[in-house]
Amino acid sequence: LTGSSREQRAFQYVLAHAIPGDPHHILQTFDQWFVGAERHMPCHATSGRIVERVLLERAPLRVLELGTYCGYGTVLLAQGLPPGARLYTIEGDPRHAAVAEKVIRLAGFSEQTVELIVGPSEEVIPCLREKHGLMKADFVFMDHWKRCYLRDLRLLESHQMLAEGATILADNVLFPGAPHFLQYAKTCGKYHCKVHRASLEY
Beta carbons of 85 and 62 less than 8 angstroms apart: yes
- Tell me which of 65, 101, 138, 146 is the catalytic residue: 146
CB 181 within 8 A of CB 149: yes
Distance CA 68, CA 102 (A): 12
Q: Which of 52, 143, 164, 190 is catalytic?
A: 143
Q: How far is CA 82 from CA 27, 61, 113, 133, in A?
A: 19, 7, 11, 19
Annotated catalytic residue 138: no
The single residue of 172, 186, 190, 194 carrying the catalytic annotation is: 172
Answer yes or no: 31 catalytic: no
- Determine whether 101 is an active site residue: no
Which of 65, 101, 152, 171 is flagged as catalytic? Answer: 171
Q: Is 201 a catalytic residue?
A: yes
Catalytic center residues: 143, 146, 171-172, 201
